[in-house]
Every structure is written in structure tokens, then in C-alpha cells.
Structure 1
């Protein structure tokens, strides 16, 4: 149906009448999207079936990637691109008076993630399919995802995200493959044939119903699967609970991503979500393996299970439960299989992000799982005692259960065969500091896999203008082999190439400027420097440093008639978690600064501040190609990797950043002279944390620029907010500036001056831009996934 334009048009019109029950003249853009989505799914269905059959027939080892987040974004455009039919579709629709861009716009973003963790998972699925690797995702089919962000008078307001309002054309419900998940109840222990037998009785049952979505590889017939689980009431309702209460509590499991966990009810719901994901996923994986192999004694030879951060770590005791209670294996055999099946990626060094579950919540909710975790802990501590006799301090620090909590990262390390960080610096911090004791215990488990992003979405799809220039310059091999982008480097000094690169950037800046005006009513100077910071709002990511610097520029422009800057447009996009009130205050601060700056005729020709509401994947695809400067300014040692830095460099933006996360490897690749580095190093930050010596007040008193902007938070400079910014002020001075905003302020300001000097030298700027693009191929997820496949999962392409 996609062989040529005429065939496509005919098939499209027939299916429109069949699926929508109306004539073409009566159809809407949403109808067009619905029909086109069904056509794509129909087109790939035989390849989807064939991929699964091939994997079964060849008895290939397969990987299952378990993640609490999959930030997919819109799928129509990327699916058409990967199938190689976008041009046929675009031309056929144009003949019918339909713009493909409008059809794509009508698709809701599948907002099943919060940031880099979920977007990384989505990129990995794309690369697995494109590399013909047998790999599938398992996640939760959240009804409302994270939330839709609305800005009202500068304040963030959260609304339920409605991505499923009109259904999901890509999914297939498979009720016959539902898995029963058990909560609460008690464990009955008996002895049979000299062996202890455990039965989970009086439990509250929930049905996990799978919805399968195809993952289409680029230029290949491989179609892998993303399986999303929906929580539904079981046929047998619990007798002790009101039916409507049971229904509400069940459906809440797959209703929202990251429910508020400030209270025990929220903690229980999060823990329910995590067990629901792993119990459903393992139930499905084990059932398929049993059908093919009869038993689970060789499970680890055919199945790899990867847990993306600590959220799915309950896969370890759940697999043990299956092997012990259902298969009747000995503890030793079950542990061998489990630890050779499961691998773990750590994504953070932040202690608050390393999950710990109170025993008083964990044990009653998951009684059998808690018993198994307790046994794992007992055996693990016994092993540690044999290895480090008498070293109670070490054992206490490494224990899985201690001080009334279950430590999920400790469970992950003990129960997996591989523990990887996501950037060289991050992995070294894990090995030498955060998880040093575990590294000393089992150094063979630890390895690094620097993150990557799918260049097909973030360059080929998001920036067709730049993609065309690259292909015209070096050919199209880079699409399949992204590291061949390095062939651009000899062209970096070519004035003609630089001019073409500049023209592409200007075109994309014009498109983003039009979008900004449409959404905000603010006109921005398309020839200004587009300085962009878009990412999750967190104190360590230091959006505060950015906005304090903007305040300094505004003050200087107001007070010094001899001071001027190259016109600058600062663009922000960020969501703050609903319960993270400090981050919400920073969002309000950005808007208060924007209101003052944008409405001041004395400064607004040189300085504009834009906050783009409801940052999401589809919006990111418009922002990255238009950016001149990529703000990657986290406190060194805090960002595990970052992936926005890679998307920006891929689109020719220059990094203004600290030596943190993958910025370090970007600097190694492109050369420090081709980015703008500043600030404390990770070693210096960690030294301050360990030994002290930092006094924020000294920087406040000795740098009048800092004193002025900090005082403006509380001295009435923003008359509409009263004392709303006082907690920000206190965080910097009373609480001694945990993330070294004031310590790095002067260096950050000086780095901005270097940015401006470089931008005023076009030959230098576009050379630097081209060098960044040329080296970005290393940071494609194809490279990352190839490393996982060989080093961790032991899988190979299925052809």
C-alpha cells in the first residue's frame, strides 16, 4: 500500500471509509491520523509476526528491558521514516489536500516518562530494532502519564495528561495474555517431602493486561515489541473490601507516573507500581520460555532481563519466587539463574534517588517477596562476614535490609551479574565513592556504558534540513553508521559548508521563533543567540544559576550605559515534580525575570527570556535544531550522564557546561576548545562535601554582582511575589548553597563572555559547530546498544 503515491492514495481513501464510516469530504485531521496509523500497523504486521517467529524458531537469547518510564513522544513520523515511506505518504496526502505535518501534530505525545531515563529507554528500543537485535521493552500503560504543565501567572499548575483520550492507534490489547499479580495477604508455610513449601494466601489479586506496541527498526524488517501493562480488577473481588474501593485502588496502579509519595499512601502506590511491573513482565517472560523449553533450568541462557534504575529491582526476588515456589528449585540453583539473568543500570549518585522502602510498608504489601529479600540479605551478610570477618561497619553499610528499610540499589548489586554506570565519570564515582564497598567486593560486576541517543529521531527526523546538508556533503551512510559523521570534520573549515550550516540554523531558528510567538505572543530576534536550557527542573541542574546570570545582565544593562551584549534569547523548558516546591519557585522566578526583562524597552532588544510550557518530546524536536548554545550546567558529580547534551551537539549547538556526566566525554571527543567549560570539577565538589571549606557567604559579600541578584530575591525587586523567593534566598545563604551556585557564578559569567566572543567570529563559531556534529556519532544509541549486547546481554542480531 506504500509502493507508490497512487497506490497509497487509493488504499488511504478505501480505509478511511472502512474505518471511519464517512466520506473523505467529511473527514477530520484526527481521522487522517487514525487511518494512517492503522495502515502503518497493517503494513508492518507480517514483519512483526515474522520477527517473533524467527526469534522462537532460532531459539535466540532475547533481552527484556524493564523500565518504569518509556518517553516515546509521537510515533507516526518516526515510523514513516523508519519504514522509508515518508515521501510517498507526504506526496500522496498533498494530492488530497492534506499536510502531513498537520496529521503528525494531531498525535498526542505518549508522555510515559519524566525525562532522560524514559527517553533513553525509548532510544534504546529504536536501536535494538534497527540493529536487528532481539530485544523488547516492558513498562506500564499509564492512563495519564506524568502531567500536563500549565503556567498560570508564572506558577506551574499540573493537569492530568490525556494521551489516551482518543485511544492509541499503535497498541493491540492482548487480554488472553493477562498475568495475575498478588498483593497483601499472608504466606502459609508447610513441609512436603522434606522441603518447605510457601503459599501466598488471602491475597488481593490484580490483573495485568498487556498492550503491545510495535517497535520498527530503520531500514530493516525487524519489528520488536514494547509491552505496556494495564492494571484491571480481577474476576474475583476481595471479600474484605468495598468493590468500588478495590476498583479505584486497582486502576490507580496504572493511572499516573510517579504519584506523590509524601505520605504512606503514595509510597504504597509507588511500590505497588514497581511490583506490578516486574510481576507482570516476569510472568509473561517465564510463560513464553516454558512454552518453548518446558522448564526454567536454562532460563539465563536464553533470557536477559535488564532493570533500568532501581524501580524494577523487585525483578530479583520475584524471579527467585518463581524459581523456588513454582519450579521447586533449590536456593542455590535459583540464585545462580537469577544472578546470571538480571543486569542493572544505575542512573544517579543522588542519595535521595536511591530508593529505600520502609519495612512496615513493604512486608505487609508483599509478604512472600519480603521473605525472599530477607533471606537474600541474610545470605549476603553471611558472605560478607566470611570475606570481612569482624568488619561490622562494612557489613552494616552494605546490608540490603538495615535500619528499618529495604535498600533497592544494594539488592540490585547483590542480585545481578552486571552493574553499569552511564558515563565514564559517573561510573568512576560509583566505583570509588558511592558504591566503593560493593566495587571492592565484586569489581567484575562494574562497567561503564556511556549513554547515547537515537540520531534518527533527533537529527534525521527532527532536523531534515541539517540531515540533507550532511548527506549532500558526505553521503547517507551516516544514517546506518552514525560514527561516519566524523567524515564531516574535513569540511568544518570550508567557508561554503559553514555558510550552508549557518543558513540551516537560521531557518530552524525562524521556525522556533514562530512557535514561540504562537505560544507566548512574544517576538524574539531570530538573529540573536538562542541560549537553551531544557530539562527536568532540579536544584542540581542549576536552572537557578542561569536565571541569576540573566538578572545580572539585566542589572548591568540598566545601570551601565556603556555596557552592551550581543542580543540573547534565553529559552527554558522544564517540569517540576508536583511535590517539589523549591523547583516550582524557580519556575516562578524564571517567569518573574522574564516579565521584567521582556517588558523593559531599555533592555528587551538585547535580552529576552522565554519559558516554553509543557516541555515534551515533540517540543524538544523543535528546540534542539534551533539552539545555538546548550546549557549543561549541573553541579559537577551530580549528573550521571545527560542526553540532552548529545542531542544539542548533534544539531550543531555548542555546549556551555561543567565537567559533569557525559560532558567530560564530549570534551574529550571535540576538544575543550570547541565548547565552553567552566566551574568546579567533580573532584573539587566531592572534596568540599567530604572536608567542608565552602562558605557561600564569602562569595555573597565579596562579589557585588552576586550580592545584588541574591538580594533582589527578597528586597521587593519582584513586587508581585512578596516573600515567595525567600526559600531560594535561604538555600543560597542560610543553607550554604548545596549545589555551589554562588561558587561557580563568576566562572559561569566569564564563560558567557567567551560564548559571545566566539559568536561574533562566524568562521570560528561554525567551525566549532561542525566539529561537534562530526563527533556526535559516537553518542548515538546504536553504539551504546551494541556494547550492551556484547558485554552484558550476550545477544546477537537475528536476521
Structure 2
């Protein structure tokens, strides 16, 4: 079908006619996209079936990765690249008068995630398949993924994201593999044949229907599966209010992260979490029984990995099935469960460590609550036996306390491995956030620094740079990213450095067209493209960036001869719909852009751009064009970051705090190839513990800060009276929790250094080359090999 151009063209036209009963001349671009997608899916189906059979026949271990988010992006071109048929297809389509890039535009971003967590899961799936490892993903098939963001008058407006409105060519619905998930009702216990049994009565039953998507490895015959669960009404029991039941059921897979400011939203989120784990574990065990019969040695063949705390209910759900349905006693079930489940922690933010009110948890999941209560009882008894009378320690470690179920505590107690996602993050977990647990279970804790799918973020996103690298060092880097280090041989080759500069400029040209099209603002590709794209959150400090931009504008206004290296400041970010403060910062960025971009005094010195609806496909255009990567979170707050890695592999230079994986980037490239500034994590933690920081002092003693902060409330922004008072108050009234003012001066200094360095073209390109050459360490292939060897114990098939 794809063996050569002529064969492809013939198959394509035949398939098109068969599907749509139209000739090529009568058909639409949508017809072409669907036809090509179906051809690819059919092409991999033999390998997909063979992979499943291979894994069923294998006696080795397999991993099932449970994540509430998967930020997949577009799959068409990535699948063609991985199959090695991109060139044949592109040329064949061209000869038929069809442009592959136009077909890509028709594909929706599968936005089943919010940010780094979901994108990491997608990168991991790519690496598992490309390394021929037996690993599958389980998630939820949200009808509407993360909202579509529109900027209206500078404000974020959320629209439902309609990624499924034209169907999903990559999925196969498998109604025969549906399972039942139960909510509400009550639990009755009886003595049967000398043992206590539990029955869940009057439950509301929801049908979970799997939709499977192929995960195609790069130039490999492995095709793993991403199984996404859809919630559908069950036929029985008959409900009094059938419409209400139908609506509530379908809501489970309707939206990613429903607003949980009220109980209704909290119930829905908890429902989603249990729906995901119950459906997934039932399906995993059903397959396992087929292969192995009984479940006594489940943990020797299966690892279930929970990505953050959202799927932690996998622990009590596995216990429920082993005890209630399989007849194991508590100790056997606990042994199997705690040797099957591994957990990744993704945060040090206490507000992000999930806990659920018992008043919601217990009625919604009555049997699961009983099991969690029992786990907690037994765990607290162990703690008491170790340190009798130490109530404070027990209360601090308990899974259920103060009216809440603490999900991270349940995850640590019920799993065999707990990993952080960057060296610093793991150390903070061990020494501070999870210190008592680390003292209890030192062997469980380990680090797995995050990585990115370098085939998507370099080979696909930056084809010009990718083919130049292949020209220089051969193509082995595509499968082994560490081979990029060979580029270091060229750091003094001026012809190579000049070619790198030209490629970057071309990529900037492409992004500038998108900017002009989306915002109407023309930008100069000779300027520094200075980029901060990520979720909008106070700790990520987009506020520090925009306050510094306001300071630069003030300099220009005060001194018309002020010379700065021209810059285009580019932002992309979505704020969570209920996150009031973050939305204010989006408005502030857009209000500042409105003034700066339209002031003739600024000339070509700077532009501020906010690109709406930041998503994977837009990111693929932004990273290759960036000169500067803004990674300026408050030290100790960013667990890892993966945007920093995507910028790095595309040759952008990092301006960053010593936080998350920025530290490991610096270790690799050396101090001279990164721009670091600001407080260290130890200094931040010292301030949190002992006080001593007064933001008002920085406001009074630095006129640059005072001027920019005053502009938030002194009428500088016309027509937005009181709009930015909450930001002003957060900095001065609430003592600037994220040390924006403390780090302002060092940030301004490092930005001056960035400008000076950029003027030395050869030096800048050398630094850029050094970053690309060292980025292989941050391939998700490396991360997955570490998970496979150290945690999951899985081997390539």
C-alpha cells in the first residue's frame, strides 16, 4: 500500500472511491484526510494484532500506565514518520494535487490533557512503543478536552473544545469489551462459608466502553494501545429519572477537569477518577485471567503505574476485586496490590496534593471507602507499634485525617515505588514534603527525571534542523538521542554555526506569519524571540516577565535614545477556568501588549504577543522559532518542566531559575551556556520556614519595581479601573508569595546579559549548538529505559 508512490496513489484513489462513492475530482479535503487515516490504521492493524498476541504469549512483565490526562496532539504526520512512509505519501499526494500539510490542518488536537502531565504521558507512550516495550496507556475519552481559549478584549474566554465533532479516525470502539462501574448504593456484609463477604447493593451502574488507539513505534513493528474509556448509560437497573441518570452518566466522560469549586464538581471529578481506575483494572485483570488463570502471581507479570494522584483509587479497587470477587484474604490481597502498583509524584505544591472530603467520598464509593478505612487502620496500628503514643506522627502520616482522604498518602502506602521527576524535586520530596514517609520507606523513593519525545519535538516539529543534523552526524540520533552529542565536534565550524542561524531565522519567519495572521501584529525576525509558553500559574511567574517588560517600556518612554536589542516577547498560556488570579495576569499581558504595540515611541524595539489557545500543534511551531526560553518559576515549585527540554533541543537558550530540570540542563551544558538567576530552592524554603522576606522593602528601594507595580493601580491602563488590584495586593498586601519582587533585579540583570550575548552571533550560535548537542539526555527514551529497568522490570519484546 505504501511501498512506492505509484502503489500508494492507486490504493488511495481506490479507497477514496470505495468509502465515499466519489471520484478524486469530486471529493473534499475532509474525505482525503479520512481516507489517509483509515489507510494508515489498516496498514498497522497486522502489527497491532501481532503485538497483542506477542504480549499475550510472553511470560515477561507488562506495564499499564494510568493517567487522567493524555495531551496527544495531532497524529497523522507523526504516524507517517514512525512508519517510515512520510516521503512516499507526501509525494504521492502532491501528484494527486493534495497537500499533506493541508490535511494535517483538518486534524483536531486531541486535547485530553491540561499541560505537562498529559504531554509527558503522550511522550512516554511514544517511547514505550519505539523501544519495543510492552506498555499500554489507559485514560478517559473526554468528549471535550481542555477548553478552547479565545482572547476577547484581553480576557480569556473558554469555549468547549470539539475535537470529536468529525469523529476520530484513529480509534476503534470495542463495545464487546465494555465493563460496569458502580457508584452510590450501600454495602452489606454476610458470613458465607466461614468468611465475611461484601455485596454492593442498589448501586448506580455506568458502562465503560473502551475506544482503542494504536501507538506506533518509530520504525518498529510494535504497536501498543492507548485505551480511552467512554461513559455510557447501562440498561439495568431501570432508573426513576432516566434522563437525569443518562445526563449524569455521560457527564463522566464529557469534560476534562470539571470546575470543582462546588460539591457537584467535586463529585464529578471523583467519579471520573474511580471510573478510570475501575474500568482499567477490570479490563487488565480480565486479560490476565485469560493468559494466566488465577491472580496469585499478578505482581510478577503486571505493573500498574499511576501518573500523579488522580488514579490512586487503583489501590483500593484492586483490593476490592481480589477480596470480594477473587476470594483472597486481606494479607494476600495487600501483598499482591503493594507489589503491583507504582506511583509518580508530580508536585511539591501542597494545594495540588489531592484530598477528598469523607462526606463526598463515602456515599459515592461506599465499598472503596471501607477498604481505604481498613488500609488506614492497619497502617496507623503499624505506626503505633513503632512509636507508641506519638500521636502527632501518626496524625501527620494517616491516610484519613481531619475529615479528608489524603490521596498522596494512600499512593505512598499502597505502592512499591514512589518517584519524583527531577533530581531537585525528588530531594525536596525526601527532605521536606514527604520526609516522614521517606524515613518510613527509604527504599521506595527514587528519581526519574522527565523526558520528551525527541522524534516529535525535533524530527517532526523542526524538519529543517532535523535534516541538517542528519547531514552532519547521520540519522542514528533519531533512535538514540544521545548521539546528538556528536554535534559538539562542530562548535568551532563557522559554516555550521551560520547554517544553524539561517534555519532559526526561517523558523522565526514561519512563526511571524502565524503571529501576523492571529494578532495582526508584524514582528521583525532579526529581533530576539523571547518565549514563555506554559500553563498560567502564579508560581510559573508570567507576572515577573510582564513586569520586566513594563519596566523596559518605561525606560523607552523616559529616554527616547534608550537602546536595547530588539525583542519579541511571546506568551502562550491557558488559565484554569476557576483560577481568578491567573486570568487577571492574562488580561495584564494583553493590556500591556495593547499599549506597547501601538506606541510609535517604541519603534521596532519591542513587541508583546499573546498567542491564544496554546496547544500541542501550536507549540510545534513555537519551539523551533524561539531564541530564548523563559523558565522562571519560583525555585522549588516546578517539579521538572519539559518545555525547557523542548526549547533546548530546538536550540533556544534558557533564562531560568535553579528549579526543576533547569538544574540538570545547567549541569549538562555548563554555566556559560545558560542564563540563570534568582533565589535557590534552599533560600526559598528558608524564607517559607523562618520568614524574613518583606516585599514592601523591595518596592520602596527599587524605583523600577515601584513604577511598574504602581502602574497596576494608578490609571496607567485606560478603561480597566481596579482590574489589577488583586495583582497589586498579592505583591504588597500578601507579601509576594512567589518572590517576584525579590527576583526582579537579578532577572533584569540577566536579561541585559542575554541582549549583549545575542549581539555576538558566533558566541550565541555556539551556545545554541551546545544546548542541542546535550539535549539527548532529556529524551523520554532515556526516562522510559530507567522506568523499565528500575521500577517496572519490563523488557523489549
Deviations 1:131-156 (A, max 9, x none): 00000000000000010001100000
Q: Aligned ranges for residues 333-412 of structure 1 at < 5 Å?
A: 333-412=332-411
**Is 1:545 aligned to residue 544 of structure 2?**
yes
Look up the match of 2:49.
Answer: 49
Look up the match of 2:117.
Answer: 117
Look up the match of 1:754.
Answer: 753
Q: Aligned ranges for residues 135-284 of structure 1 at < 5 Å?
A: 135-239=135-239, 241-284=240-283
Cα distance in 1, alignment partners of residues 384 and 484 from structure 2: 52
Indicate if the aligned counterparts of 2:640 and 2:661 stay in contact, CA closer than 8 A.
Answer: yes
Look up the match of 1:100.
Answer: 100
Deviations 1:264-307 (A, max 9, x none): 00000000000000000001000000111111111111110000
Cα distance in 1, alignment partners of residues 534 and 638 from structure 2: 12
Look up the match of 1:482.
Answer: 481
Deviations 1:111-168 (A, max 9, x none): 0000000000000000000000000000000000010001100000000000000000
CA RMSD of aligned residues (A): 0.6
Cα distance in 2, alignment partners of residues 107 and 5 from structure 1: 23
Cα distance in 1, alignment partners of residues 740 and 22 from structure 2: 60
Indicate if the aligned counterparts of 1:150 and 1:614 stay in contact, CA closer than 8 A.
Answer: yes
SS at match of 1:72: strand
Cα distance in 2, alignment partners of residues 41 and 59 from structure 1: 28
Look up the match of 2:675.
Answer: 676
**Is 1:90 aligned to residue 90 of structure 2?**
yes
Cα distance in 1, alignment partners of residues 297 and 253 from structure 2: 32
SS at match of 1:142: coil
Deviations 1:661-696 (A, max 9, x none): 000000000011101000000000000000000000
List structure 1 runs of 4+ shifted beyond 6 angstroms: none
Offset, 1:192: 1.2
Cα distance in 1, alignment partners of residues 792 and 775 from structure 2: 25
Offset, 1:238: 4.6
Cα distance in 1, alignment partners of residues 541 and 286 from structure 2: 46
Offset, 1:720: 1.7
Cα distance in 1, alignment partners of residues 758 and 594 from structure 2: 27
Offset, 1:494: 1.1
Deviations 1:368-417 (A, max 9, x none): 00000000000011111112222111110000000000000000000000
Look up the match of 1:565.
Answer: 564
Cα distance in 2, alignment partners of residues 386 and 430 from structure 1: 25
Cα distance in 2, alignment partners of residues 92 and 674 from structure 1: 43
SS at match of 2:604: coil
**Is 1:20 aligned to residue 24 of structure 2?**
no
Cα distance in 2, alignment partners of residues 18 and 343 from structure 1: 47
Cα distance in 2, alignment partners of residues 632 and 647 from structure 1: 12
Offset, 1:21: 2.2
SS at match of 2:443: helix
Offset, 1:20: 1.9
Cα distance in 1, alignment partners of residues 710 and 29 from structure 2: 52
Cα distance in 1, alignment partners of residues 726 and 479 from structure 2: 50
Indicate if the aligned counterparts of 1:204 and 1:238 stay in contact, CA closer than 8 A.
Answer: no
Cα distance in 1, alignment partners of residues 423 and 384 from structure 2: 31
Offset, 1:60: 2.8
Offset, 1:26: 1.5
Q: Aligned ranges for residues 569-648 of structure 1 at < 5 Å?
A: 569-648=568-647
Deviations 1:730-755 (A, max 9, x none): 00000000000000000000010110
SS at match of 2:303: strand
What is the TM-score of this pair, normalised by structure 1? 0.99
Look up the match of 1:784.
Answer: 783
Cα distance in 1, alignment partners of residues 606 and 209 from structure 2: 52
Deviations 1:40-83 (A, max 9, x none): 00000000000000111123311000000000000001000000
Indicate if the aligned counterparts of 1:597 and 1:604 stay in contact, CA closer than 8 A.
Answer: no
Indicate if the aligned counterparts of 1:80 and 1:86 stay in contact, CA closer than 8 A.
Answer: yes
Q: Aligned ranges for residues 617-766 of structure 1 at < 5 Å?
A: 617-766=616-765
Look up the match of 1:446.
Answer: 445
Offset, 1:237: 4.1
SS at match of 2:729: helix
SS at match of 1:610: strand
SS at match of 1:444: coil
Unaligned runs of 5+ in 2: none
Look up the match of 1:32.
Answer: 32
Cα distance in 2, alignment partners of residues 27 and 734 from structure 1: 62
Deviations 1:324-350 (A, max 9, x none): 001110111100100000000000000
Indicate if the aligned counterparts of 1:237 and 1:243 stay in contact, CA closer than 8 A.
Answer: no
Cα distance in 2, alignment partners of residues 604 and 267 from structure 1: 50
Look up the match of 1:424.
Answer: 423
Deviations 1:458-502 (A, max 9, x none): 000000000011111111110011011111012122101100100
Offset, 1:563: 1.4
Look up the match of 1:290.
Answer: 289
Q: What is the aligned length?
A: 797
Deviations 1:73-115 (A, max 9, x none): 0000100000000000000000011111101111000000000
Look up the match of 2:304.
Answer: 305
Indicate if the aligned counterparts of 1:148 and 1:159 stay in contact, CA closer than 8 A.
Answer: yes
Cα distance in 1, alignment partners of residues 116 and 788 from structure 2: 21
Look up the match of 2:771.
Answer: 772
Deviations 1:575-609 (A, max 9, x none): 00000010000000000000000000110410100
Indicate if the aligned counterparts of 1:138 and 1:226 stay in contact, CA closer than 8 A.
Answer: yes
Cα distance in 2, alignment partners of residues 59 and 180 from structure 1: 29
Offset, 1:562: 3.3
**Is 1:60 aligned to residue 77 of structure 2?**
no
Indicate if the aligned counterparts of 2:530 and 2:629 stay in contact, CA closer than 8 A.
Answer: yes
Cα distance in 2, alignment partners of residues 389 and 560 from structure 1: 70
Indicate if the aligned counterparts of 1:83 and 1:216 stay in contact, CA closer than 8 A.
Answer: yes
Look up the match of 2:75.
Answer: 75
Cα distance in 1, alignment partners of residues 21 and 593 from structure 2: 49
Cα distance in 2, alignment partners of residues 721 and 673 from structure 1: 43
